[in-house]
A = this chain, B = another copy of it.
Amino acid sequence: MIDEEFPVASARLATWIQRYREGLRRRPVAPTTTPGAVRAMLPAAAPEQPESLTAIIEDLDRVISPHLLHWQHPSFFGYFPANADLASVLGDMVSGGLGVQGMLWSTSPACTELEMHMMDWCADLLGLPGQFKSSGAGGGVIQDTASSAALCALVAARERASDGAMNARGIGAGAGGRPLAVYASSQAHSSIEKAVRIAGLGSASMRRIDVDDSLSMRSHELARAMRRDQEDGIVPCFVVATVGSTSTMAMDDLASTAKLCRQFGAWLHVDAALAGCAAICPELRALHDGLEGADSYCTNPHKWLGVNFDCDLFYVRDRSALVGALGIEPEYLKNAATASGEVIDYRDWQVPLGRRFRALKLWFLLRLQGAEALRGRVRASCGLAQWLVARLAELPHIEVLSPQRLGLVCLRHRDGEQATAGLLAAINASGKAFVTHTRVPWPGSGSQASCTLRVSIGNPYTLQSDLEGILHLLASAG
């Protein structure tokens, strides 16, 4: 392919994509692929000579699209919404077309400045507290995922606690020789423990704090754990509060957690990967109550809001802690703008050095859709979830986890584990919808976890009629 053919080729693929999206309702949500089936259709070696776009499009139809779980399907209710609005796909295409690197301000000023600006736009759209705006000591950066955001936050916290000693001499140096501890609720995302491991603290340094009946972290348990560590000569370093757990959309109390973090000098990171974007609606903004006490925060517009993956918004109160932890300046990256201190170099805000122009996809989405339409999507998802809960109340054999929050409905069969697992299998085998499961302690069951079916609603194309399939299957299991 030569560049002159790009407009025509892209138009053909855009039409293919638009038809794929439009035709999703006619496809089963999940594939029935067996391991190795896709590879068996592919030639053993790369082609020596160019092939035609027609051949590739045929393969998209034959090899690729039948073997996908269709995350954009209106009846996809698994895991979390991963909406990739086509407006943001356009922005991503421009990013690829420009092909610039944003590791330094000087390696493309517009790349860094649009990103800073989008981070501030989003801080305002979500009503985030002022410490995260770029005008002060804080600021924001686009990370790939909340996992990477958590790792960066932890590394910054580690540095602050040890006054730089850990960058220099490793975890063994401790904070004044004392080891560090990390705290999160039993419902926190697995990426927190993954970050703790990668950062070299070891899983044993992580305290899993018990939750109450609404699956929120118990503040007095957190306080007790931090106090005990302090008495044992261990430094309470890093606390993660979750706003909207993956399993059940559980919410930790930010205000009381922040108060404890202040008291013990710990870094508070707030993981609002999925739920945080709901704060684009002023009436849902209470989920961020107490956020002004946080040192860092992240949320993922690539989930509910419609930005093409990957786009995690990561904010810090004090960017110097982050840059202190992650900044290394080799000679070949030195430049006048960096030396002036007047610019931000985002390479020091993340694990990788290179970075693409990801702000464009956010900019395109916000401009082509407008904030009001995005609010409408969040409200529609929440409305559908409430409608589903009302309909489920008519099914005596189905129990819904309470409180139900935002677009997520968690439920189980009153006949127990096996019956709930049977529901999961039946819904997914039907091809009419796709749901996933979790195991959580239901109110009154102590720490005894039970199999729970999750119906995660967030796709802007989902209609009540798309939920009828699930309702029908749930009803027939009665």
Chain A interfacial positions (CB closer than 8 Å to B): 1, 3-4, 6-7, 9-11, 13-18, 20-22, 31, 33, 35-39, 42, 45-51, 53, 55-56, 60, 63-65, 67-72, 79, 82-84, 86-90, 92-94, 96-101, 105-111, 113-114, 116-117, 121-122, 124-125, 144-145, 147-148, 151, 155, 158, 166-174, 179, 189-191, 193-194, 197-205, 246-247, 302, 308-310, 325-326, 328-334, 337, 340, 342-343, 351-354, 356, 363-364, 366-373, 436-439, 449, 454
Contact = CB atoms under 8 A, between A and B. Distances in A.
Nearest to A92: B96
7 contacts: A1-B90, A7-B11, A10-B14, A46-B121, A50-B369, A170-B202, A247-B332
Given A6-B14, A331-B439, 10 more contacts: A1-B90, A10-B10, A33-B109, A46-B121, A48-B370, A67-B113, A170-B179, A171-B200, A197-B328, A247-B331
A69 B10 contact: no
A373 B101 CA distance: 25
Contacts of A343: 35
Contacts of A169: 202-204
A99 B71 contact: yes
Nearest to A280: B46
Nearest to A451: B331
Shortest Cβ-Cβ A-B pairs, 3 listed: A200-B200, A170-B202, A84-B99
B170 A204 contact: yes
A102 B257 CA distance: 34
Nearest to A197: B167
B198 A351 contact: yes
A148 B151 CA distance: 12
A373 B190 contact: no
Contacts of A310: 352, 354, 356
Contact of A55 (B151, B367, B370): B367
Contact of A246 (B13, B53, B332): B332
Contact of A110 (B3, B64, B337, B369): B64
Contacts of A170: 171, 179, 200-202, 204-205
B351 A39 contact: no
A7 to B, nearest CB: 4
A65 B98 contact: yes
Contacts of A246: 330, 332
Contact of A167 (B97, B125, B203, B449): B203
Contact of A96 (B33, B84, B363): B84
A151 B151 CA distance: 12
B437 A101 contact: no
A335 to B, nearest CB: 8
Contacts of A199: 198-200
B79 A107 contact: yes
